[in-house]
Amino acid sequence: MSFTRRDFLKTSAAGAAALSAPALLAGPARAAREKEMNILCWEGYNSAEVLDPFRSMHDATVKAESLTNDPTMINRLRAGETDVWDLINVNNPWARKVMYPEGLIKPLDRATFEPYFEKMLPGFEPPYKWAMSEDGSELLGIAQRFGPYSFVVNTDKISKATAEDQGWDLWNDPANAGRYGVLESDDWNVFDIFLIAGINPFVEHSDADFEAFDAAAKKVFKGAKLVGDIATMNQALISGEIDFHLTGGTYSASPARYDGFPEIRGITPLTSAIPGKGGVAWIEITSVVNNPQLSPLASQFLEYVQAPEMAHTVAFAEGTFNPVTQMGQKECFDLFTADQLEAIQWDSLEEDMARSAEYDIVPDYDRALDIMTAAKREASGG
Amino acid sequence: MDERPSILELVGVTKQFGGLTAVDHIDLKVREGEFFTIVGPSGSGKTTLLRMLAGMETPTTGDILLRDRVVNELPANRRPTCMVFQSLALFPHKSVGENIEFPLKMRGVARDKRKARALELLDLLRLPQSYYARNVTQCSGGERQRVALARAFAFDPEILFFDEPLSAIDYKLRKTLEKELKDIHKESGKTFMYITHSLEEAMVMSDRIGVMRAGRLVQVGTPEEIYTQPRDRFVSEFMGEVNVIEVRKGANGHAVGVELPGDFVLPGGAVPFETAHLVVRPESLRFLAGEGEAENHLRGTVYNEYALGSRIQYQVRVGEKVFIVERLRQQAYQGGLDQEVLIGWDAKDSVLVTD
Amino acid sequence: MGEAALPRDDSATPPQAAARRRLGLRAGPLYSLPMLTLLAVGFLAPLIAVIGFSFSEPRSFDWLAEPTLENYRTIFDPSNTVYLSFLWSLWFAFLSVLILAVICYPVAYGLAKVFGRWSMVITLLLVFPLFISENVRLYGWVLFFIKAGVLDGTLRALFDAGIGDFLFTPEAIVFGLVYVYVPFMLFPMTLGLSMVPNEVVEAAGDLGASRLQVFREIELPLAIPGIIIGSLLTFVLAVGAIAESKVLGGQSVIVITHDIEIAFTYSQNWPLGAALAVLLMLVIGVLVMTVLRYLDLDRILGRR
């Protein structure tokens, strides 16, 4: 329960500071922020390899907190931490659909940042949909890491072709019970269980849809050998404890592939309930927080990570390895070794992305998550 | 001489811990109903000996016989004996009644019978029956002592062992309890085996005393015998303050002082010797008006005096040696300090020890 | 001379003392102020925050904007299966305490009565793993138990027969809890047993008690304070554990702390998570109080 205490402690400390500080700190604090910057991000941007050069370049205090799901980060801003953070790094739909409309982030200067999009991989040319506001007038963030994210198989057990062909029906085959794991990534699991149930996750759902979702969720968790984090999934795939697992892609499989297990492979199915698409992919958008005392370093950092070498470092920062949009520049692409390209499944990246729908918001996510949690609980001990 | 049969017999009992011999070839017979006390300084092996008899240790060699049966390996809980520990070892989480009934409960005696016996024992040990439900931690030192005794008596053991149970109790209460214990012994008719490092305690209570030194039983006898006929210098000195004169063989059966000038008449039955020690108890020494008043005499000066209640002790310096003289108050020395005096004793009041 | 006899003259007291008196502060409360502040900020404030959130609008982040019982209503809704998570957590904790009590007793007995100077070495060996993060140790066990892992691989090589499914089962969770909380049961128990005087145990035997009777009548009741403290500690820790079910159990069981975590993360329903946390605290609190009430420590310790 320590995480609840810690979270609340932070909130209450922030509250106490808010109560006592304004008059005293307003002046000095504004001045002090020239030399400090705080990033709320997925892991990678918080690594020393990325941050240390920036720190010494600006002689600045840079703090980065890494979390592993988007809603938590966004709700930190909603709970009043907009005056704490300068940058937020989440998946694609949140900036244009949630954070900008709610006033949690600020637009970027198009003249400064759009040229970077011109140098990115094909498909990210400006105006790039997920970086723009809904009306297409404002630039809300910068794209860097991305990847297809559907499921992962051990190709020694199930061939790539079979997995792509069978797709989400792998989980509908009763013979597969006990052969697979489920990655502990509940927002993605909601998408995937919808897809297993043959339903497009990113639309409003009927009660009948939810019944089907419930049945699929129960089936998936009943048949799951284990639910765990990325390390556990890869370990279980390598040891043969499981043959495939739900929710995963380059982001989760790349550490195992880079370690010399190329048979661990992210798969994008050929078809799914999403019209014209077989799976789902994510693109990170890094935005500037609507901080009343925004650090001037925030936009400098966004430019800093565009440089080919830094982009390569971000791609291969500690933890997981991912393709980056800057690979569209030769100077950046040439920095990747053959092994690194193999790790991020470069060979099929373009077609996998083409077959993937982009991460989107499930309109009735809360209801789906509650159903899924209950299904997980009912499968307990089984 | 007492001719009761022996209940407990030790034959060459030896206990070694590692290379250390704690108890060394002890032969002893304890008679039925006897109050037998083993006296010795700490480290003399007396507690180890008692623990072997109680079944908490097994002898390395030798045999322990209980009513002619070898019981060397018989564990404590199967011996008809009981130990009263120095700490008393009462069960702090149980009431007085539960403590007393414990051995009966272990033997499956019914609840009402146990209670009847406990109440009977409270009476025997002069504790009010209302103490039955009291927690032992609420009892005073003397009361706890009695509870421990009652508990030991509860299952009617044939022998009771006592491991210095009075040593932690203050002087006055100890004196009372010593006498009480002797009374209880008499009333119960049980065999008591007691160990202590206090000669006084042993003297008050015991039928016979065994003196232990370095794992060996040096002398066994009645308190009277031990007191008046110590076998060696150790026993004599252990029995309290004594005057020891180093002597060698002299003419016509007399002894000649080594450190002191003088020619001493020896007690009857003295063994042949070349050098020996002549032991004279302080109360056997008296002040003389003339040399003819005692068989042996020495000339010295009164150096100091101490009042010991009913008695008075004097230190008399003879040459380099200090003699202790103890007189009853009624027979007190009348002269002043630093005066020359004549002290003396009769040969029968002295003991010659060769070791 | 009594204090009452002294003339009261406020003008004679130094101004600081007078100020202190006006504030009603004596030295004691004054010196305890830092500790009280720390407790208030570090313990009471988060607690109040949690309790307050549990009465806030579901899925809101406004602390007590509109107080409501909605979160508790959701939890007690008959269709809500969250009670299963409570039961699993309590059951795991209960089992762990039971198993720990049985396996720790002989070791504690050895440490307190038998091993002598080796006790220190053994204690150090047992404490040493505490310096390594719990998660790292649990992942170590995953590598040990996983298919083709240390155990399975060794067994296969030696006997041509591996282990069945153990990892990612409820049994593995209990194993993890027992493993992680050994010191929390063992050391209070050792302390409890070392408080049992040797002579009392010997006396019981001398008075006719068999080894089993000595254990039941003497050792156990006298060591019980240590055993109870160890049991309460491990129970409370085990109910609040999450890593064991996630890492070793592969989430084969959702424990209550995991539910709370989901509420605070993926489902972003802080008020619901807070209500679950408050209920968990209540359940543990009531259980602990009941045990402490039923087993009067003062009497056990012989203080009364």
Return the closest-CA partner of residue C221 out of B68, B102, B13.
B102
pLDDT at C17: 59
B125 by DSSP, 3-state: which?
A: coil
CB contacts of B75 in chain C (<8 Å) are 205
Domain C80-300 maps to which CATH number in 1.10.3720.10, 1.20.58.710, 3.40.50.12160, 1.20.1730.10?
1.10.3720.10
CB contacts of C213 in chain B (<8 Å) are 106
For an interface test with A, give the residue of C252, C258, C269 to mutate (most A CBs within 10 A).
Answer: C252
Distance from CA of A114 to the nearest CA of C (A): 33
Could C45 and A12 be called an inter-chain contact, meaning their C-beta atoms sit closer than 8 Å?
yes
Q: Please state the rounded mean pLDDT for residues B138-157.
A: 92
Q: How confident is the model at residue C7 (pLDDT cuts 50, 70, 90)?
A: very low
* Residues whose CB falls within 8 Å of the CB of residue B256, separated by 6 or more in sequence, listed in order: B247, B248, B249, B250, B262, B263, B264
Cis-peptide into C29, omega within 30 deg = no
pTM: 0.80
Could C277 and A1 be called an inter-chain contact, meaning their C-beta atoms sit closer than 8 Å?
yes
**Minimum-distance CB partner of A366 among C50, C259, C267:** C267
| Cα gap B343→A93, rounded to integer Å | 119
Q: Residue C272 pLDDT > 90, yes or no?
A: yes
For an interface test with C, give the residue of B50, B88, B102 to mutate (most C CBs within 10 A).
Answer: B102
Could C199 and B102 be called an inter-chain contact, meaning their C-beta atoms sit closer than 8 Å?
no
Could C200 and B90 be called an inter-chain contact, meaning their C-beta atoms sit closer than 8 Å?
yes
Buried b (16+ CB within 10 A) or exposed e, A330-362: eebbebbeeebeebbbbebbeebbebbbbbbeb
pLDDT at C129: 87
Buried b (16+ CB within 10 A) or exposed e, A195-219: bbbebbbbeebeeebbebbbebbbb
Q: Which helix (H) or strand (E) holds B345?
A: strand B340-345
| Cα gap C101→C99, rounded to integer Å | 5
Tell me which chain C residue has its CA closest to the CA of residue A237: C147
B28 by DSSP, 3-state: which?
A: strand
Strand pairing class (A279-289; A224-228) = unpaired
Q: Which residue, chain included where needed, has tokens 């949630």?
A: A98
CB contacts of A239 in chain C (<8 Å) are 146-149
pLDDT at C181: 95
pLDDT at A22: 37
pLDDT tens track of chain A, all 382 residues? Answer: 333 333 433 444 343 333 333 333 344 444 568 899 999 999 899 999 999 999 999 999 999 999 888 988 998 998 889 999 999 999 999 999 999 999 999 999 999 999 999 999 999 999 999 999 999 999 999 999 999 999 999 999 999 999 999 999 999 999 999 999 999 998 999 999 999 999 999 999 999 999 999 999 999 999 999 999 999 999 999 999 999 999 999 999 999 999 999 999 999 999 999 999 999 999 999 999 999 999 999 999 999 999 999 999 999 987 789 999 999 999 999 999 999 999 999 999 999 999 999 999 999 999 999 999 999 998 876 5
Is C218 an 8 Å CB contact of chain B? yes
For an interface test with C, give the residue of A19, A94, A182, A373 to mutate (most C CBs within 10 A).
Answer: A373
CB B150 within 8 A of CB B122: yes
pLDDT at A5: 36
Evaluated on CA atoms C29, C35, C38, C44, the torsion sign reads: negative
CB contacts of C90 in chain A (<8 Å) are none
Residue C193 has, within 13 A of its CA and on its CB side, a CA count of: 22
| Cα gap A204→B172, rounded to integer Å | 96
Q: Residue B294 pLDDT > 80, yes or no?
A: yes
pLDDT at A14: 40
Q: Which residue, chain included where needed, has tokens 């009966």?
A: B104
Distance from CA of C282 to the nearest CA of B (A): 32
Token reading at B151: 């508990």
Is A157 an 8 Å CB contact of chain C? no
Judged by average pLDDT, the poorest of A269-278, B91-100, C127-136 is C127-136
Mind listing the domains of chain A with CATH numbers?
Answer: 2-144+286-336 (3.40.190.10), 147-280+360-378 (3.40.190.10)
| Cα gap B264→B285, rounded to integer Å | 14
Tell me which chain B residue has its CA closest to the CA of residue C220: B93
CB contacts of B105 in chain C (<8 Å) are 217
Distance from CA of C251 to the nearest CA of A (A): 5
CB B96 within 8 A of CB B121: no
Residue range B75-86, pLDDT digits in tens? 999 999 999 999
Judging contact as 3 or more Cβ pairs under 8 Å, the answer for B and A is no
CB contacts of C304 in chain B (<8 Å) are 135, 137
Neighbouring subunits of A (3+ Cβ pairs under 8 A)? C
pLDDT at A24: 39
Q: What share of chain B in percent tops pLDDT 70?
A: 99
In chain C, where the domains are located:
3-72, 80-300
Residue range C12-70, pLDDT digits in tens? 455 565 555 555 557 777 888 888 888 888 889 999 999 999 999 998 888 888 899 99
* Residues whose CB falls within 8 Å of the CB of residue A100, separated by 6 or more in sequence, listed in order: A107, A133, A134, A138, A140, A287
Residue range B234-266, pLDDT digits in tens? 888 887 788 999 999 888 778 888 888 888 998
**Cα-to-chain-centroid distance, residue A376:** 23
Distance from CA of C25 to the nearest CA of A (A): 25
Q: CA separation (Å) from A182 to A53, A232, C140, C166? A: 37, 10, 21, 18
| Angle formed by the axes of helices A250-258 and A230-239, nearest 10° | 50
Return the closest-CA partner of residue A321 out of A260, A265, A251.
A251
CB contacts of A228 in chain C (<8 Å) are 246-247, 250-251
Report for A16-30, B301-315, C272-286: range of highest mean pLDDT: C272-286
ipTM: 0.81
B244 by DSSP, 3-state: which?
A: strand
Could C268 and A72 be called an inter-chain contact, meaning their C-beta atoms sit closer than 8 Å?
yes
CB C269 within 8 A of CB C262: no
Could C259 and A369 be called an inter-chain contact, meaning their C-beta atoms sit closer than 8 Å?
no
Judging contact as 3 or more Cβ pairs under 8 Å, the answer for C and B is yes
pLDDT at B37: 96
Mind listing the domains of chain B with CATH numbers?
Answer: 6-233 (3.40.50.300), 241-353 (2.40.50.140)
Distance from CA of A231 to the nearest CA of C (A): 9
Q: What are phi and psi of B207, to 5 degrees?
A: -80, -45
- List, edge to edge, every strand of the sheet that includes B61-66: B20-31, B6-17, B61-66, B69-70
- One-letter amino acid identity for C116? G
Return the closest-CA partner of residue B106 out of C211, C41, A330.
C211
CB B257 within 8 A of CB B246: yes
Distance from CA of C49 to the nearest CA of A (A): 6
Could C206 and B92 be called an inter-chain contact, meaning their C-beta atoms sit closer than 8 Å?
no
pLDDT at B236: 86
| Cα gap B110→A129, rounded to integer Å | 91
CB A186 within 8 A of CB C266: yes
Could C252 and A380 be called an inter-chain contact, meaning their C-beta atoms sit closer than 8 Å?
yes
